[in-house]
């Protein structure tokens, strides 16, 4: 392990292999991992298709189950976040953040804000998207709409 404390955050809606990959990298790199999970209220503020996002209680349960299965739960600190950065703007113990290509820009923004507050910027570790059978990224929206399962297996033909 390279870092004492790593952060990762997301909606963790329709938990899929992409979520598992980002969490695996975070727990590979960090002794402890701060996992931020978006509140139900934050879903209304997201600039993406939020119709049908599972309730926080359910998302939290499935996240904890995955962490338990992988043996990571004891090293995790799960916090509900109501904004894009959660406690990562104030936590001086954080050393790194794990992102996807979709969330890297937000991590760069976080580092600017941390620096302006006198905190050390985080090492940004970007992992590639996990791809479905059709070569497109696995996403919660695709799982929700029944295009693919949580492992990227195609369930129906795309309309495009």
Domains of the chain in start order, with CATH, are 3-86+104-144 (3.40.50.620)
pTM of the model as a whole: 0.92
Res 42: pLDDT: 78
CA distances from 4 to 62, 84, 96 (A): 25, 22, 9
Res 52: pLDDT: 76
- Residues linked to residue 37 through DSSP beta bridges, in sequence order: 10, 80
Res 156: pLDDT: 73
Q: Over the chain, what is the mean pLDDT?
A: 93
Res 157: pLDDT: 66
How does pLDDT run across 33-91, given as a tens digit for each residue?
999 999 988 766 654 555 678 999 999 999 999 999 999 999 999 999 999 899 999 99
Sequence-ordered list of residues with C-beta below 8 angstroms from that of 81, at least 6 positions apart, any chain: 9, 36, 37, 38, 39, 42, 87
- Residues 10, 26 contacting (CB under 8 angstroms): no
Sequence-ordered list of residues with C-beta below 8 angstroms from that of 33, at least 6 positions apart, any chain: 5, 6, 7, 8, 23, 26, 27, 72, 75, 76, 77
Rg (CA), the chain: 16
CA distances from 53 to 27, 41, 77, 111, 152 (A): 26, 11, 23, 28, 19
Rounded-to-integer distance, Cα 44 and Cα 22, Å: 24
Q: Is the pLDDT of residue 1 over 90?
A: no
Q: Is the pLDDT of residue 28 over 60?
A: yes
Tell me whether strands 123-126 and 96-99 are parallel, antiparallel or unpaired: parallel
Res 51: pLDDT: 63
How far is C-alpha 12 from the chain's CA centre?
Answer: 6
């Amino acid at each position: 392990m390279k870092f004492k404390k790593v952060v990762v955050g997301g909606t963790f809606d329709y938990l899929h292999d992409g979520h598992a990959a980002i969490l695996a990298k975070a727990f590979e790199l960090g002794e402890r991992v701060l996992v931020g999970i978006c509140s139900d209220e934050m879903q209304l503020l997201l600039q993406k298709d939020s119709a049908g996002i599972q309730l926080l209680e359910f998302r939290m349960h499935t996240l904890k189950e995955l962490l338990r299965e992988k043996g990571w739960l004891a090293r995790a600190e799960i916090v509900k976040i109501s904004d894009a950065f959660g406690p990562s703007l104030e936590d001086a113990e954080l050393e790194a953040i794990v992102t996807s290509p979709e969330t890297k820009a937000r991590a760069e923004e976080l580092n600017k804000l941390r620096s302006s507050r006198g905190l050390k910027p985080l090492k940004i570790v970007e992992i590639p998207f996990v791809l479905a059978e059709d070569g497109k990224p696995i996403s919660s929206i695709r799982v929700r709409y029944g295009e693919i399962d949580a492992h990227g297996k195609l369930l129906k033909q795309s309309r495009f």
